[in-house]
Structure 1
Amino acid sequence: MQPSEPSYNPNGNNPGGLPNTKPRSFKQRILAQNPATQLRKLRLRWLLVLSSIPLFGIYTAFGIAPQTITQDIPISTVIEQVALPQLDEALSTAQNDETFWQADQVRRDDTLASLMTRLNIRNQEAIDFLRRDPDASALASQLRPGRSIQAQTTDSGELLQLQYQTDNKSIFKVERSDSGYQAKMLDASFVTHSVLKSAEIKSSLFGATDAAGIPDQIAIQMADIFSSYIDFHTDLRRGDRFVVVYEAVYNNGELVRTGQVLAAEFTNQGKTYNAVMYRNPEGQVSYYTPDGKNLHKSFLRSPLEFSRISSGFSLGRLHPILNTIRAHKGTDFAAPIGTGVKAPADGTVAFVGVQNGYGNVIILQHQNGISTKYGHLSRFAQGLHKGMKVSQSDVIGYVGMTGLATGPHLHYEFMVNGENRDPLKVALPSAIPIDQKYKADFSTHSANLAAQLRLLSASNMAALE
């Protein structure tokens, strides 16, 4: 008897008394499956597929919509005649009926012709009337920058109505009638309201006011009000905040113009400044702190409302044209040609004319041995002459680039007893505080405006938090 082959039992037992066999590969086991077993598995798979078909039918039915009738639905076509208008006639009627109101403001360099162009006034009859009629022709001489003007025209540029605010009490009106154009002066029903706004500096003062819907004129006023404490050329920082209360004048519900700043609070680099406007019984307007301290110094820090410093005070600067090292005894403010230059304080005109490389020059003499100089001007204020007295903020000339200048700017010098000082660093004396005889009236007026500022400032802070 031959010895049997060694048995193989991977589990260490022998279930059912079956003899152990050698392990086979996975492929061998697959090939060795019983054909009957494979047939049973195939039948099972088909059974599963067939049993799933009703489920897909249910899903599809719900995907269509519950209780939807899926039988054939009869379809019929209805034809109806629709009369269409002639295209040319429709367009002509629409254009004849369509009118437009356009509102604008008079600009500094405006003429009657430029205004009519912007207001879309193109019919010759209206143009001739505005130029030649005795009542209407006065309009050209009464154009003032900042004043409102509105015109109603057709699409073809035919003037129907024109309204212009000539002053605080009157409106000039031109209207077309069956007999032609007529001009008349009307009493204006102006109503003044106080407007409260707040904003945060993210890039610039004008950027903040634009984002908050505050007119540029109010931004310029704020820069002037706080100019003795904040240098708006260099001191502004991202995150600075301000609140402002200002006048807005309306006529028949339409905004006509903005008035004066009534109160303002400006936080610059963590320090807060407050200002309230006070008009004394004599009609003089000044801005004070809530306790009556005059915000303006006796000198404005800058003779321009708003500009950029292009060159500072220096005892040794390379001259951009002469290419030599020489002292720059003033500050250059870059600004467009024609920008108004203001007197920083009351004074007397000591010189007006042409002077060396400075081109057109003005020199003002002030109190306490102080004098100021203005160079490279394009022109002088009308009627300005030597010996003439000027008041603080009066426009004395206009920015230019006469003399030795590489671009339009104002050269500004500040001298004390003939010695040049840095205009941006010299100490400026404070102006006179509120007169004692107006103190009680001012305190009542100031308390009301200060309360409005606190309310708006608190609301603004709560919104930021």
Structure 2
Amino acid sequence: MQIRRIFIQLCIGTLCLQTFLVIYLHFAPWETLNADLENWFEEKAFSEIESKIDTIERQNFTRPAEIKRKKKAKASIVHHTVKKGENLSTIWQKYAGNLDRFSEVKSAFQKAGLKALSLKTGEKVEVALKKKGNICRLKKTLDDGSVVVVKNTETNGYTAYSKSPKILQKQKVVTATIYDSFVRTANYASIPYEVVDELVDLFGHRIDFSKDLQAGDTLSVVYDEKKIRGKEKALSVVIQAASLKLGDKLLAIVRYNGRDGKSRYYDEKGKLLGDYFLRYPVKFTRISSVFSKARMHPILGVTTTHPGVDLAASTGTPVRSIADGFISFAGYSGGAGNMIEIKHGGNVKTIFMHLSKFAKGIKQGARVQRGQIVGAVGSTGLSTGPHLDYRLSINGKYVNPLNVQLPQIINNQDTIPPKLLQATLTTLMARHENMVLAQRELGLRKARV
């Protein structure tokens, strides 16, 4: 029924439309009808022409947004490890195949006001190659975190520039309980190794870190740390104050800038810490063990008196002079292997044996400064493994370098303001007292703030 009704309505509509057209054609003027027909044909023709033009344009024209950009060839990245004897020009020649455009690189450094890259063995240089022989970029990260880049631009050739990193500086305060060795305690308290080694150097002339510290003693340190954003390793650390509470005894060091602008450290009594001898010729955190004075010789098989100490460390670990002096001997010496003897004045002499190598410029007669690297740990001569045989002689007699009272040379009488010293000591002492309370509440191994 529904379909039938719709059909009838359509028929009636069609009949009405036909009737309207017949009436209109009978009564409308021919001029008006003709004009209407002409306008209709013109509009229809114009519309068709526009449609044709639009179709042609679409076929022959591509809008800018639709243009497919040609993909640039990706550069292959090579992380080159600098080998002994290599420099920037030899690395360039290795990857470019020649030195034809190397002069452009040197000129780019000059225009940018940068020094040409100095490379050390073992460092990394990033080389970007578009194709064999075409170096599009060289990049190297410097010790201070800045990045030097040499880039080939298609319009201006090679250009050089330097990017400075974002440096974050923060002062940190750490207080911890000694529960094991000093290094393990510091590691547990997240104190950087650089701070640990500096603490050992600053306190080393007064205590033996391998023997004098007992479980329950406390440590407090305030230090400034500089880091590159996003990097874990610190660029530098500077200790502002530190203290060790050994039983009832408080040992402290406080940093102060004198009238001459130089920074110096003072002890808890306000006494200037002068150019004291370093306790260890190897950074403390690099030592794996210390051997006794009397021992069974590992090769000769007999008990011998050992007039020094053996510091076990990996081959290549830097060895430094414990004070200013001059080299009285540097060379191979039988069972001692590669050996260095340094005279420091005041009848004080140090000897380093079994070295793997000597530092550049170390030879008989050369002057050295406190902390200067003179060689590296090795296993030359009569030795069964890498270690440093370290001997200290005072007034012609060998002494134990780990517990002897080390000499000091004070050349400056500048003093620290008493109020500053007292305020710092009061703050340090309060931290130790808080640490003791934390020990009681949390237990010995967990106590740290």
Shorter-chain TM-score: which interval? 0.5 to 0.7
Please report how far the alpha carbon of residue 230 of structure 1 lies from its aligned counterpart in structure 2 after TM superposition: 2.3
The answer to whether the aligner puts 1:461 opposite 2:442 as a matched pair is no
Asked whether the equivalents of residues 81 and 124 of structure 2 are also in contact (C-alpha less than 8 Å), the reply is no
Q: Indicate which of 197, 216, 231 corresponds to 2:208.
A: 231
Contact preservation (8 Å) 2:391, 2:398: yes
Instruction: Give the alignment partner of residue 365 of structure 2, picking from 339, 364, 387.
Output: 387
Cα 1:285–1:411 shift into 2, 3 Å: farther
Which position in structure 2 is the counterpart of 1:341?
319
SS at match of 2:345: coil
Secondary structure class of the residue paired with 2:415: helix
CA distance in 2, matches of 1:161, 1:272: 53
The residue number in structure 2 matching 1:113 is: 80
Secondary structure of the residue aligned to 2:339 is strand
Gap regions ≥5 residues in structure 1: 1-110, 116-126, 151-158
Alignment partner of 1:332 is 2:310: yes
Structure 2: runs of 5 or more not aligned: 1-77, 83-93, 127-135, 441-449
- What aligned pairs does 1:348-359 form with structure 2 within 5 A after superposition? 348-359=326-337
* Aligned-pair CA distance for 1:274: 0.6
Distance of aligned partners of 1:174 and 1:429 in 2 relative to their CA distance in 1, 3 Å threshold: closer
C-alpha offsets along residues 64-99 of structure 1, whole Å, 9 cap, x if unaligned?
xxxxxxxxxxxxxxxxxxxxxxxxxxxxxxxxxxxx
1:191-202 residue pairs with structure 2 within 5 A? 192-202=169-179
TM-score normalised by structure 1 residue count: 0.59
Give the structure 1 partner of residue 53 of structure 2: none
**Deviation readout 1:28-63 (Å, 9 max, x if unpaired):** xxxxxxxxxxxxxxxxxxxxxxxxxxxxxxxxxxxx
Whose RCO is larger (CA < 8 A, sep 6+)? 2
Identify the match of residue 192 of structure 2 among 215, 224, 236.
215
2:148 touches 2:161 (CA, 8 Å); kept in 1?
yes
AA of the residue aligned to 1:141: S
What displacement does 1:190 show?
3.8
> How far does the alpha carbon of each residue in 1:255-305 deviate from its partner, in whole angstroms, 9 at most, with x for none?
753421111111235533111123435564442214322446732232222
| Secondary structure of 2:356 counterpart | strand
Indicate how the Cα distance of structure 1 residues 266 and 161 shifts in structure 2: closer, same or farther if over 3 A, else same.
farther
Contact 2:328 2:342 in 1 (8 A): yes
Fraction of identical pairs, as percent:
29
Corresponding residue number in structure 1 for 2:85:
none
Q: Cα gap change, 1:215/1:140 in structure 2, threshold over 3 Å: closer, same or farther?
A: farther
- Give, in angstroms, the shift of residue 363 of structure 1: 0.7
Cα shift at 1:337:
1.0
Write the letter of the residue equivalent to 2:380.
Answer: T
Paired residues of 1:309 and 1:331 also in contact (CA < 8 A): no
Query: CA offsets per residue over residues 190-213 of structure 1, 9 Å max, x none?
Result: 453321112222233332223222
User: What amino acid is the match of 1:273?
Assistant: L
Structure 2 counterpart of 1:312: 292
Distance 1:280 1:114 in 2: 44
Provide the rounded CA distance (Å) in 2 between the counterparts of 1:331 and 1:187: 45
Give the Å deviation of 1:345: 1.8
- Change in Cα spacing, 1:176 to 1:355, as seen in structure 2 (3 Å) is closer
1:260 maps to which of 238, 246, 255: 238
Q: For 1:232 and 1:347, locate their aligned partners in 2 and report how far apart those are by CA, in whole Å.
A: 25
Structure-1 separation of matches of 2:439 and 2:302 = 52
Contact 1:381 1:396 in 2 (8 A): yes
C-alpha distance 426-219 of structure 1, shift in aligned 2 (>3 A): closer
> Aligned to 1:397, which of 369, 375, 383?
375
Q: Which moved more, 1:424-433 or 1:373-382?
A: 424-433
Provide, for residues 390-431 of structure 1, a one-character-per-residue CA deviation record: whole Å limited to 9, x for no partner.
Answer: 222222111111000111111112223433233234332344
Pick one of 220, 224, 235 that aligns with 1:243: 220
Cα 1:176–1:383 shift into 2, 3 Å: closer
Contact (CA 8 Å) 1:334, 1:409: kept in 2 or not? yes
Q: How does 1:367-446 map to 2 (within 5 A)?
A: 367-432=345-410, 435-436=412-413, 438-439=414-415, 442-443=417-418, 446=421
What is the aligned residue count?
331
Deviations 1:331-375 (A, max 9, x none): 111111111112122211111111121011111112221211111
- Give matches, 1:12-27, under 5 Å: none
Q: SS of 1:141's equivalent?
A: coil
Contact preservation (8 Å) 2:177, 2:435: no
- Partners of 2:431 and 2:158 lie apart in 1 by 49
2:80–2:125 CA contact under 8 A, matched in 1: no
* Compared CA separation, residues 148 and 249, structure 1 to 2 (3 A): farther
Q: What residue identity is the alignment partner of 1:303? A: P
Describe the shift of the 1:128–1:174 C-alpha distance in structure 2 as closer, same or farther (beyond 3 A). farther
Name the counterpart of 2:55.
none
**Residue identity in the other structure for 1:464:** Q
**TM superposition shift of 1:448:** 5.4
CA distance in 1, matches of 2:274, 2:289: 22
Secondary structure of the residue aligned to 1:219 is helix
Match of 1:289 in 2: 267
Q: TM-score, normalised by structure 2?
A: 0.61
Q: 2:181, 2:210 within 8 Å by CA — same for their partners in 1? A: no
Letter in 2 for 1:331: V
Query: Which residue in 1 is equivalent to 2:133?
Result: none
Q: Distance in 2 between matches of 1:339 and 1:363?
A: 18
Structure 1, 389-398 or 262-271: larger mean CA deviation:
262-271
